[in-house]
Amino acid sequence: MVFSSLVFLFYFLPLFLLAYRLLPWRQTTLVLFSLVFYAWGEVLYAGVMIASVIANHRFALWIDACDAAARKRAVAIGVGANLAALAWFKYATFLHTIAADLLPGSVTGPAPQVHLPLGISFFTFHAISYLVDVHRREVPAERRLLDVAAYITMFPQLIAGPIVRFHEIRAEIHERHAETAGFARGAQLFVIGLAQKVLVANVVAEPANTAFAADPMQLDAASAWFGALCYALQIYFDFAGYSTMAIGLALMIGFHFPRNFDHPYVAQSITEFWRRWHMSLSRWFRDYLYIPLGGNRRGAWITARNLLVVFFLCGLWHGANWTFVVWGLYHGAFLVLERSGFARVLDRLPRMLRHAYAMTVVLVGWVVFRAESLAQARDYLAAMFGLHAANASAAVPAPAYLLGVVAIAVLAATPLAGRAARRATGTDGSGAAIASDAGAMLLQNAWLCALLLAFAWSAMRLASGAYNPFIYFRF
């Protein structure tokens, strides 16, 4: 089940909110509905997530009870168990293929066909952060299994994040207040995210798919760039829209999730891009991998190594394919380049050129990320830079309405739209309330009407069976 579905909007969510408000067992209600939410699409593999909850509850109690020396061993075993499960379900086939290529005489037989449970990358990272936080004494281990289950299975962040560390919401796990004002702000954020997903991401997904499904050897440069731009908008509004819905849902039931995106397409460097894109994942890798590896405290070469290791794993986290690995290393290489002195060169360039540099690097990276193989990525990039011009015969249709959606999407990806949305909802990017004046109240009232229209339009598109993919479902 995903947020942008009629079942969720008109059946699951109303029933959950009614039960959550009326029943006295809020924690139990949240866990049970979260399990139903997950089992709706993964009946058989819901057991994997339940096993993760039980195992990590026990691991945390063990870690908490150990002395300093034993605690390191205990957390290593707990984290290792989580990573082993993730490696089996997500990378077994990929690793078998690599081993067969490297050792053709030693590795025989077909690659194992292992089903990928929904959201395993996200709930595994949540579990690991919980164990590490207990190890670091940032939080005590939870005695009640129900509280750990509420954290790991919580349906707003279960399938696609944001990646919320336990210490960020521990107080709200134990005691939270679903206030009317917070509920209203959360509902507005949810509708904004739904509109981003259904009215923008789903629309630009179609020309992106057309471009990447075409033979890149026959694709003209304009269509190739247009397809890459549409995919860049699709993945942003798809994921940022889902994150906004998650933040809104959490706020409706008394949780405050961290902001996950901060207008990444206004970045003027790749370093800045990663401070703005999927911020919860960036912070996770920073706190649990980059800094423990030494961060930037041990010289330029160690810093470069650490960045490449982090982004290699960041790419691999997204999927078991060489395209994701190359995409991660590609971004890591640009971060190393900017740290080696290129950032000072960028600082001397006009703002427009800095932005053009960052967006070109990002768009090229998205082509690698989206491609089914490195060969397709190579040929598609060649088409973008006009190397197949003599053979170009395929073009991506761009009717006026589609160009209009793309133009609106580009504008909506800027801070101008973000400031308007925050002012209209009376919140900051994480859903926390900000001060309102008379002008803001007038804007909020006007925007409420727009949000109702956006919700109705989104629901009608979903009811009509319009194209409704979800990119991060496979991660």
The set of catalytic residues is 318
Q: Which amino acid is at 140?
A: P
Token representation of residue 203: 């629309």
365's CB contacts (< 8 A; 6+ apart) are 327, 330, 331
Q: How far apart are CA 264 and CA 279, in angstroms?
A: 10
Q: Are 139 and 167 in contact (CB under 8 A)?
A: yes
Would you report the helix, strand and coil content of the chain in percent, each value rounded to 5? 75, 0, 25
Residue type, 354: R
Cβ-contact 119, 111 below 8 angstroms: no
Start-to-end CA distance of the chain, whole Å, equals 15
Contact of 157 with 246, CB cutoff 8 Å: yes
On whether the CB atoms of residues 272 and 358 are closer than 8 A, the answer is yes
How does DSSP assign 196-223, residue by residue? IIIIIIHHHHHHHHHHHHS-GGGB-HHH
Residue 54 makes CB contacts below 8 A (sequence gap 6+) with: 145
- The phi and psi torsions of 164 (rounded to 5 degrees) equal -100, 120
Q: How many residues does the chain have?
A: 475
Q: Which two tokens stand for residue 410?
A: 């580009």
SS3 category, 433: strand
**CA 146/CA 27 separation, integer angstroms:** 7
83 vs 86: CA distance, rounded Å: 5
Q: What are residue 219's phi and psi, to 5 degrees?
A: -90, 130
**Residue pair 265/355 in contact by the 8 Å Cβ criterion:** no
| Cβ within 8 Å of residue 238, ≥6 positions away | 197, 201, 205, 469, 470, 471, 472
Nearest partner of 120 among 50, 168, 54, 170, judged by Cα:
50
Element (H, E) at 180: helix 180-195
Q: Is 293 helix (H, G, I), strand (E, B) or coil?
A: coil
